[in-house]
Amino acid sequence: MPLIAGNWKMNLDHLQAIALVQKLAWSLKDVKHDFGDVEVAVFPPFTDLRSVQTLLAADKLSLALGAQDVSPHLSGAYTGDISAQFLSKLDTRYVLVGHSERRHGHGEGDDIVAAKAKAVATQGMVPMICVGETAADLEEQGAAAVPLAQLEAAIAALPKDAEFVIAYEPVWAIGSGEPATAEQAEQVCAALRARIAELRGAKVAAETRLLYGGSVASQNVAGYLRQANVDGALVGGASLDSQEFSRIVQFKKHVTGA
């Protein structure tokens, strides 16, 4: 099942978060969205998670809840860190790990990303592992080399039966307004799926959802989702607009034959 995920990044306080989720839910209800056909997840800041979780539960909304980061440690003297145990108690389903803004802004290497992915999986949640190349990587090594290396490192420590999602986000496309082409996204996602098959077998490769992220909008999402190996989208800024995000979720209306 396709997955459309909205990463709010460091935006919206808990009151604004409640308002946005309500607007999104109303918008999707108006168009009779089938959450069994396309899954929808939102990734608010940590301070919003409890408020959003309470709203989802009280109103029986079918949106999945995601967190933007996690500590590699379960508990202890790690001031400011958030444990996967805490997130699991909030009915969190997905947790982002390895986002380029964490890798580059906070110096998180493949070892930290792998430890975080393992922490998420061992608490019964699904790590959404972000991989992607910078403009320099693209120039020097091509599109797939760095994402493949990041993939291998991140899933090496995961339990064999752990579910995971891969989000391919070319760093040069994030927030740039210049997204990768659908063909570029397909090329890298096909390579990622082939590598998952080598590492975890054909069944896991077929079942693992590969998302594209990087300047996704309602005008271009259908092109990505037409590709054989793109199973969804990780949406940034556009997810802060309930109407625009709703239009992205409804991508099937723009995909020929859907």
Residues assigned a catalytic role: 99, 169
Q: Which of 122, 106, 134, 112 is nearest to 164 (CA)?
A: 122
Q: What residues form DSSP beta bridges with 71?
A: none
145's tokens: 């080399």
- For the chain, how big is the Rg over CA atoms in Å? 17
User: What single DSSP character describes residue 106?
Assistant: S
Three-class secondary structure of residue 172 per DSSP: helix
Sequence-distant (≥ 6) Cβ neighbours of residue 119 within 8 angstroms? 70, 71, 72, 73, 74, 83, 84
Among 13, 74, 86, 19, CA closest to 44: 13
Q: Cα–Cα distance between 181 and 220 in angstroms, integer?
A: 9
Which helix (DSSP H) or strand (DSSP E) does residue 149 occupy?
A: helix 145-155
CB distance 119 to 71 below 8 Å = yes
**Alpha-carbon torsion 66, 72, 75, 76, what sign?**
negative
Bin 14: left if φ > 0, else alpha if -120 < ψ < 50, else beta.
alpha
